[in-house]
Amino acid sequence: MYGNTGSPNYLEYSVSEKPNKKTKTLKAVIILSALTIFLLLFWVLSVFASAMVIVIPMVTVLIVFGAFIFWKFTKIEYDYVISGGDMQMHIVYGGRSRKELFCFKLSTAELFAEKSASPADDSKYNKVFHCVSSMDADNILYAVFKNEDGEKCIAYFEAPKKAHSILKFYNSSAYRIGK
């Protein structure tokens, strides 16, 4: 019920980034690059018929492996965990590679607000994190905080109702939603 923590102030939430122009272009580039490399090598090696028997299968395996490695960057997910008053945000590439984007104490945040009610000026911040399926999604909140290096950051994230109560519990003075 409480994510195996026994605490009602625990939340895990994941959101997948919707395919946008950048990821669609990346997919097309990966496919076209693999096809071009394969055809170019096939054309060059066709001069050497004896080498084709050995080299073409090896090159095919390498091209497929390379495409597999780069394909993970076309499926991006964001996972966040709120536990013990901390918020950790991770980016997950292709369901395989996980990297922490940031972590901060909710009590030290300067502001929690809805994107739709009070849009923020991103140019004021050293780092901007867009951890949402799309910037047009419903229930987008943003948090203003300082990271470990003291840089002022803003993070956009999608929040279910439970996140609202947890944010308000840990930092009611910075919680400016519905006011």
d(CA 16, CA 126): 25
pLDDT score for 139: 86
Contact partners, residue 75, CB within 8 Å, separation at least 6? 16, 23, 93, 94, 95
pLDDT score for 167: 92
pLDDT score for 134: 85
Under 8 Å between Cβ of 152 and 120: no
Show the tokens assigned to 65.
């492996």
Contacts 24+ apart (CB under 8 A), 118-124: 118/176, 120/144, 120/154, 122/154, 124/152, 124/154
At residue 1 the predicted structure's pLDDT band, cuts being 50, 70 and 90, is very low
Mean pLDDT within 136-162? 91
Question: For residue 45, which amino acid is it?
Answer: L
What count of Cα atoms within 13 Å lies in the side-chain half-sphere of residue 15?
20
Residue 171 has pLDDT above 80, yes or no: yes
Under 8 Å between Cβ of 90 and 73: no
Mean pLDDT within 116-120? 73
More confident residue, 55 or 110: 110
Residue 3 has pLDDT above 70, yes or no: no
What torsion do the CA atoms of 123, 128, 134, 137 make, to the nearest 10 degrees?
-80
Angle between helix 49-71 and helix 21-45 axes, rounded to 10 deg: 170
Mean pLDDT within 169-179? 84
pLDDT score for 89: 95
Residue 158 has pLDDT above 80, yes or no: yes
d(CA 113, CA 117): 8
d(CA 21, CA 28): 11
Host H or E run for residue 172? none
Q: Which of 140, 145, 170 is nearest to 157 (CA)?
A: 140
At residue 23 the predicted structure's pLDDT band, cuts being 50, 70 and 90, is confident
